[in-house]
């Protein structure tokens, strides 16, 4: 693939690597006012390759400062996805109580062999040492065995982790983050969307009536026609060893209804769950027309659980966009766009059309019953064979909260729509060959916009 790209598609607010390839967010952890984002990275080409962990830090989840590569492939293989925790009590012994270490658990993937879980630690938040005791969780004879997500277990007051094991997840616990003992499994009997499970996460989210509920998130390489890579979740309880579904649903609960939000997990060491995903789909990830970089993260979204017309569902809220929401101005008629990045709010039903002089259009529509999004004429399509097909062009989702408002962020080549007050998130990339320079709202209720300027 060429590294020049057709034009600069780099978003302003969404994280992109300094150059070359990224997929999953990894090791996200919040320490003393700083958000750490590690990420699957191949620094030598804008396509997937031997995986490293790239690293960036931010104080506001919008401006990221690149850091040196944190983990390089080694004699055990590539560095696949995993997580970091801030080991405040220094149970691992890799730091001190005064200067607690960051402890990373990740998968080593041997391209000719197996996958197993390994540990690395850092005392300065930048440089990582791998332990000589790796692997800390050897492979139990399962070909897909990866993506450990460590979390604090409030039931047993210890560290636990959840990892993906082919068509299910396994839970482990540890007193020192180094020795791990299996405590249980979940799936596949509750799963309505078969596939290979990847990048699980387990956390508690607040409900709108003041309680909390456990959420198990799993990304899946799908066997079905629902699109290649999607993320679903289950709502239930965690007894300290295992997870159980308590809110049975007769449909798959999708974390996002768009084509491009995968492998999302939450930051460790925060009061409330804040998730970032990879804003891409494996189906065409390696062939996007972005040139010298490839792949980006979603914006950060805070998650809670709310009652909707179809039962309890995750509700997403943008984090870090307060400056934009404070400056929203009414859209009267079709309006010129001065910026390739903007936030828009719509109350009620209506259609929003972003367009350019090439006649390219990205369309989002809210009807009485559905949320629709259509990128079939939004810009470049032919860079890969599936991208222009109906399965990846347009979608419609039943509404979940009919009186809810819609917030939309468009950022150069990434669209994130939070419809129905955040109950229907839709994330997708689009590649307009010229920037969209016009926004029109047809038959719409009140529409307000704030265009972004670098500050």
Residue of 24, 260, 420, 421 with catalytic role: 24
Least distance in angstroms from the C-beta of 364 to ligand FRU:
26
Site for ligand FRU in 98-157 (CB under 6 A): 107, 146-147
Reply yes or no on whether 24 is catalytic. Answer: yes
Least distance in angstroms from the C-beta of 93 to ligand FRU:
27
Phi, psi of 278 (to 5 degrees): -85, 120
The closest alpha carbon to 120, from 180, 64, 72, 174, belongs to 72
Q: What is the DSSP string of 372-393?
A: EEEEEESS--TTSSSTTSGGGT
Q: Determine, following the binding rule CB under 6 A, whether residue 40 of this chain makes contact with ligand FRU.
A: yes
Least distance in angstroms from the C-beta of 82 to ligand FRU:
8
- Regarding beta strands 311-318 and 293-294, do their DSSP bridges make them parallel or antiparallel, or are they unpaired? unpaired
Least distance in angstroms from the C-beta of 353 to ligand FRU:
32
If the CB atoms of residues 41 and 301 are measured against ligand FRU, the closer one turns out to be: 41
Q: Determine, following the binding rule CB under 6 A, whether residue 452 of this chain makes contact with ligand FRU.
A: no
Contact 36, 27 (CB under 8 A): yes
Site for ligand FRU in 69-88 (CB under 6 A): 80-81
Q: Determine, following the binding rule CB under 6 A, whether residue 174 of this chain makes contact with ligand FRU.
A: no
Residues 120 and 254: their CA atoms lie apart, in Å, by 32
- Binds ligand FRU by CB under 6 A, chosen from 24, 256, 411, 421: 24
Site for ligand FRU in 249-268 (CB under 6 A): 262-263
Least distance in angstroms from the C-beta of 284 to ligand FRU:
14
| Count of residues that bind ligand FRU according to CB under 6 A | 13
∠186-391-413 over CA atoms, to 5°?
A: 95
If the CB atoms of residues 273 and 277 are measured against ligand FRU, the closer one turns out to be: 277
Q: Is the bond preceding 135 in cis, omega lying within 30 degrees of 0?
A: yes
Residues 75 and 231: their CA atoms lie apart, in Å, by 32
Output b/e per residue, 380-406; b: 16+ Cβ within 10 A: bbeebeebeeeebbbbebebbbeebbb
Q: Determine, following the binding rule CB under 6 A, whether residue 198 of this chain makes contact with ligand FRU.
A: yes
Length of the chain: 455
Contacts with ligand FRU by CB under 6 A lie at 23-24, 40, 51, 80-81, 107, 146-147, 198-199, 262-263
């Amino acid at each position: 693939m060429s590294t020049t790209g057709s034009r600069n598609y780099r978003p302003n607010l969404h994280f992109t690597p300094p150059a070359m390839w990224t997929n999953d967010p990894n090791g996200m952890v919040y320490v003393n006012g700083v958000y750490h984002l590690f990420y699957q990275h191949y620094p030598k080409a804008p396509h997937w390759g031997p995986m490293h962990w790239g690293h960036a830090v931010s104080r506001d989840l919008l401006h990221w400062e690149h850091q040196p590569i944190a983990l390089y492939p080694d004699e055990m293989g590539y560095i696949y996805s995993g997580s970091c925790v801030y080991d405040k009590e220094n149970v691992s012994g890799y730091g001190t109580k005064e200067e607690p270490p960051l402890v990373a658990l990740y998968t080593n993937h041997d391209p000719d062999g197996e996958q197993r879980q390994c540990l690395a630690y850092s005392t300065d938040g930048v440089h990582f040492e791998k332990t000589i005791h790796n692997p800390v969780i050897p492979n139990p004879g399962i070909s897909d065995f990866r993506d450990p997500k460590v979390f604090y277990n409030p039931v047993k007051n210890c560290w636990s982790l959840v990892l993906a094991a082919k068509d299910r997840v396994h839970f482990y616990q540890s007193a020192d983050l180094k020795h791990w003992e299996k405590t249980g499994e979940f799936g596949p009997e509750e799963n309505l969307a078969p596939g290979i499970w990847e990048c699980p996460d387990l956390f508690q989210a607040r409900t709108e009536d003041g309680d909390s509920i456990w959420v198990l998130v799993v990304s899946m390489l799908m066997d079905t026609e629902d699109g290649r890579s999607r993320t679903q979740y289950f709502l239930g309880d965690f007894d300290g060893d295992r997870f159980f579904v308590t809110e049975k649903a007769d449909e798959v609960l999708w974390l996002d209804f768009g084509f491009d939000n995968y492998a999302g997990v939450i930051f460790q060491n925060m009061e409330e769950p804040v998730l970032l995903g990879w804003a891409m789909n494996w189906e065409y990830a390696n062939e996007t027309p972005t040139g010298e970089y490839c792949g980006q993260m979603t914006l950060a979204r805070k998650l809670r659980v709310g009652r909707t017309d179809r039962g309890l569902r995750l509700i997403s809220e943008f984090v870090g966009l307060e400056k934009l929401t404070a400056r929203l101005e009414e859209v009267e008629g079709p309006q010129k766009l001065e910026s390739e990045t903007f936030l828009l709010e719509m109350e009620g039903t209506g259609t929003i059309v972003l367009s350019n002089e090439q006649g390219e259009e990205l369309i989002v529509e809210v009807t009485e019953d559905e949320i629709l999004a259509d990128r079939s004429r939004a810009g470049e399509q032919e860079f890969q064979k599936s991208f222009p097909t109906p399965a990846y062009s347009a979608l419609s989702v039943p509404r979940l909260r009919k009186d809810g408002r819609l917030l939309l962020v468009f950022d150069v080549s990434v669209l994130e729509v939070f419809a129905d007050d955040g109950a229907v998130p839709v994330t997708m990339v689009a590649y307009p060959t010229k920037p969209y320079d016009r926004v029109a709202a047809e038959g719409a209720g009140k529409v307000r916009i704030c265009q972004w300027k670098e500050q």
